[in-house]
Amino acid sequence: MTPELRQLIGELRADLVEDEPASLEYAHFGEGAAIDALPAGLPADLRDLLLVADGMRAGRVELASTSTLAGMQHHLDFAPDFSSIPEDRAGWLVVGTRSDEPIFMDRGTGAVWYFPPTGTEWFMSDAFEELAPDLGSFVDYYVLGPGYAELTPADDRWFAFLDEQGLLDEDEDEEP
Protein backbone atom coordinates (compact mmCIF):
# COMPACT_ATOMS: atom_id res chain seq x y z
CA MET A 1 0.00 0.00 0.00
CA THR A 2 1.36 3.36 -0.97
CA PRO A 3 1.89 6.16 1.56
CA GLU A 4 -0.56 8.26 -0.49
CA LEU A 5 -3.30 5.65 -0.11
CA ARG A 6 -2.64 5.38 3.63
CA GLN A 7 -2.94 9.15 3.91
CA LEU A 8 -6.13 9.25 1.81
CA ILE A 9 -7.77 6.59 3.99
CA GLY A 10 -6.86 8.57 7.09
CA GLU A 11 -8.23 11.80 5.65
CA LEU A 12 -11.48 10.19 4.53
CA ARG A 13 -11.89 8.47 7.91
CA ALA A 14 -11.53 11.86 9.61
CA ASP A 15 -14.10 13.44 7.27
CA LEU A 16 -16.54 10.60 7.93
CA VAL A 17 -16.08 10.85 11.70
CA GLU A 18 -16.65 14.61 11.49
CA ASP A 19 -20.02 13.97 9.80
CA GLU A 20 -21.22 11.25 12.21
CA PRO A 21 -23.88 10.07 12.81
CA ALA A 22 -25.08 10.87 9.27
CA SER A 23 -22.04 9.24 7.62
CA LEU A 24 -22.64 5.95 9.44
CA GLU A 25 -25.54 5.33 7.05
CA TYR A 26 -23.22 4.97 4.05
CA ALA A 27 -19.66 4.45 5.24
CA HIS A 28 -17.34 3.55 8.08
CA PHE A 29 -13.59 2.97 8.16
CA GLY A 30 -12.35 1.09 11.20
CA GLU A 31 -9.22 2.22 12.98
CA GLY A 32 -6.14 0.18 12.11
CA ALA A 33 -5.90 -3.26 13.69
CA ALA A 34 -3.30 -4.10 16.29
CA ILE A 35 -0.53 -6.23 14.81
CA ASP A 36 -1.27 -9.07 17.23
CA ALA A 37 -4.94 -9.12 16.12
CA LEU A 38 -4.05 -10.04 12.51
CA PRO A 39 -4.70 -13.65 11.52
CA ALA A 40 -1.57 -15.57 10.53
CA GLY A 41 -0.80 -16.19 6.88
CA LEU A 42 -2.49 -13.15 5.35
CA PRO A 43 -1.19 -11.77 2.05
CA ALA A 44 0.96 -8.67 2.58
CA ASP A 45 -1.51 -6.30 0.87
CA LEU A 46 -4.37 -7.40 3.09
CA ARG A 47 -2.18 -7.17 6.18
CA ASP A 48 -1.21 -3.62 5.23
CA LEU A 49 -4.82 -2.60 4.67
CA LEU A 50 -6.00 -4.05 7.98
CA LEU A 51 -3.23 -2.19 9.81
CA VAL A 52 -4.53 1.06 8.28
CA ALA A 53 -8.27 0.32 8.38
CA ASP A 54 -9.63 -2.72 10.20
CA GLY A 55 -12.66 -3.05 7.97
CA MET A 56 -14.11 -0.59 5.50
CA ARG A 57 -17.71 -0.04 4.53
CA ALA A 58 -18.00 2.33 1.61
CA GLY A 59 -21.46 2.40 0.10
CA ARG A 60 -22.12 -1.00 -1.43
CA VAL A 61 -18.54 -2.23 -0.96
CA GLU A 62 -17.45 -3.75 2.32
CA LEU A 63 -13.93 -4.93 3.01
CA ALA A 64 -13.35 -7.41 5.82
CA SER A 65 -12.08 -6.59 9.26
CA THR A 66 -10.00 -8.92 11.39
CA SER A 67 -13.21 -10.00 13.14
CA THR A 68 -15.25 -10.63 9.96
CA LEU A 69 -12.62 -12.12 7.64
CA ALA A 70 -13.02 -15.75 8.71
CA GLY A 71 -16.81 -15.56 8.42
CA MET A 72 -16.61 -14.39 4.79
CA GLN A 73 -14.72 -17.46 3.61
CA HIS A 74 -17.92 -19.51 3.25
CA HIS A 75 -18.36 -17.86 -0.17
CA LEU A 76 -15.50 -20.03 -1.44
CA ASP A 77 -17.75 -23.09 -1.06
CA PHE A 78 -20.21 -21.70 -3.61
CA ALA A 79 -17.80 -20.64 -6.38
CA PRO A 80 -18.85 -22.01 -9.77
CA ASP A 81 -16.93 -25.01 -11.09
CA PHE A 82 -15.64 -23.15 -14.17
CA SER A 83 -13.65 -20.74 -11.98
CA SER A 84 -10.28 -21.77 -10.62
CA ILE A 85 -11.48 -21.45 -7.02
CA PRO A 86 -12.81 -25.03 -6.55
CA GLU A 87 -9.52 -26.46 -7.88
CA ASP A 88 -7.43 -24.46 -5.41
CA ARG A 89 -9.66 -23.21 -2.60
CA ALA A 90 -6.65 -22.51 -0.36
CA GLY A 91 -5.23 -20.23 -3.05
CA TRP A 92 -8.10 -17.77 -2.68
CA LEU A 93 -9.35 -15.46 0.04
CA VAL A 94 -12.63 -13.55 0.25
CA VAL A 95 -11.60 -10.02 1.23
CA GLY A 96 -14.96 -8.32 1.03
CA THR A 97 -18.28 -7.97 -0.69
CA ARG A 98 -19.92 -5.81 -3.31
CA SER A 99 -23.67 -5.64 -2.68
CA ASP A 100 -23.36 -8.93 -0.76
CA GLU A 101 -21.44 -10.62 -3.59
CA PRO A 102 -17.90 -11.74 -2.75
CA ILE A 103 -14.68 -10.03 -3.76
CA PHE A 104 -11.77 -12.48 -3.97
CA MET A 105 -8.01 -12.18 -3.67
CA ASP A 106 -5.69 -14.61 -5.41
CA ARG A 107 -3.23 -15.43 -2.63
CA GLY A 108 -0.47 -16.22 -5.14
CA THR A 109 -0.59 -13.01 -7.16
CA GLY A 110 -2.46 -10.63 -4.85
CA ALA A 111 -4.88 -9.80 -7.68
CA VAL A 112 -8.48 -8.93 -6.83
CA TRP A 113 -11.26 -10.82 -8.68
CA TYR A 114 -15.05 -10.86 -8.79
CA PHE A 115 -18.00 -12.32 -10.63
CA PRO A 116 -19.26 -9.43 -12.78
CA PRO A 117 -22.99 -8.90 -13.24
CA THR A 118 -24.38 -11.25 -15.88
CA GLY A 119 -28.07 -11.19 -15.00
CA THR A 120 -27.79 -14.22 -12.75
CA GLU A 121 -26.64 -14.88 -9.20
CA TRP A 122 -22.86 -14.78 -8.79
CA PHE A 123 -22.63 -18.47 -7.82
CA MET A 124 -24.33 -19.42 -11.11
CA SER A 125 -22.33 -16.98 -13.18
CA ASP A 126 -20.30 -17.89 -16.23
CA ALA A 127 -17.86 -14.98 -15.84
CA PHE A 128 -15.02 -14.50 -13.35
CA GLU A 129 -12.74 -11.52 -13.91
CA GLU A 130 -9.73 -9.79 -12.46
CA LEU A 131 -10.58 -6.30 -11.22
CA ALA A 132 -7.17 -5.09 -10.10
CA PRO A 133 -3.61 -6.40 -9.94
CA ASP A 134 -3.45 -5.87 -6.16
CA LEU A 135 -5.58 -4.83 -3.20
CA GLY A 136 -4.10 -1.32 -2.98
CA SER A 137 -5.03 -0.60 -6.61
CA PHE A 138 -8.50 -2.01 -6.00
CA VAL A 139 -9.10 0.21 -2.96
CA ASP A 140 -7.65 3.27 -4.66
CA TYR A 141 -9.65 2.97 -7.89
CA TYR A 142 -12.79 0.95 -7.10
CA VAL A 143 -13.52 1.87 -3.48
CA LEU A 144 -12.13 5.40 -3.20
CA GLY A 145 -12.18 6.52 -6.82
CA PRO A 146 -14.01 6.68 -10.12
CA GLY A 147 -14.18 2.89 -10.46
CA TYR A 148 -16.80 2.76 -7.70
CA ALA A 149 -19.46 3.60 -10.29
CA GLU A 150 -18.35 0.58 -12.34
CA LEU A 151 -19.04 -1.77 -9.42
CA THR A 152 -22.39 -0.41 -8.31
CA PRO A 153 -25.65 -0.13 -10.23
CA ALA A 154 -26.66 3.37 -9.16
CA ASP A 155 -25.47 6.55 -7.52
CA ASP A 156 -25.63 6.36 -3.75
CA ARG A 157 -24.51 8.47 -0.81
CA TRP A 158 -20.95 7.04 -0.97
CA PHE A 159 -20.72 8.04 -4.63
CA ALA A 160 -21.88 11.55 -3.67
CA PHE A 161 -19.26 11.66 -0.88
CA LEU A 162 -16.52 10.66 -3.33
CA ASP A 163 -17.71 13.39 -5.68
CA GLU A 164 -17.70 15.96 -2.86
CA GLN A 165 -14.12 14.92 -2.08
CA GLY A 166 -13.08 15.37 -5.71
CA LEU A 167 -12.15 11.68 -6.06
CA LEU A 168 -14.21 10.86 -9.15
CA ASP A 169 -12.05 12.78 -11.62
CA GLU A 170 -10.86 10.11 -14.07
CA ASP A 171 -8.05 12.36 -15.33
CA GLU A 172 -6.22 12.12 -12.00
CA ASP A 173 -6.71 8.40 -11.44
CA GLU A 174 -6.14 5.73 -14.05
CA GLU A 175 -7.84 2.34 -13.99
CA PRO A 176 -5.52 -0.39 -12.68
- The C-alpha atoms of residue 151 and residue 69 are separated, in whole angstroms, by 21
The full DSSP string for 85-139 is TGGGGGGEEEEEEETTEEEEEETTT--EEE----SS-GGG-S--EEEESSHHHHI
Q: For residues 51 and 33, is the Cβ–Cβ distance under 8 A? A: yes
- Residue 57 DSSP class: E
Q: Mean pLDDT over residues 149-171, rounded?
A: 87
Q: Which pTM was predicted?
A: 0.92
Q: What is the pLDDT of residues 86-114, one digit of tens each?
A: 999 999 999 999 999 999 999 999 999 99
- The C-alpha atoms of residue 92 and residue 119 are separated, in whole angstroms, by 24
Would you say residue 174 has pLDDT above 80? no
Query: Structural domains in the chain?
Result: 3-164 (3.40.1580.10)
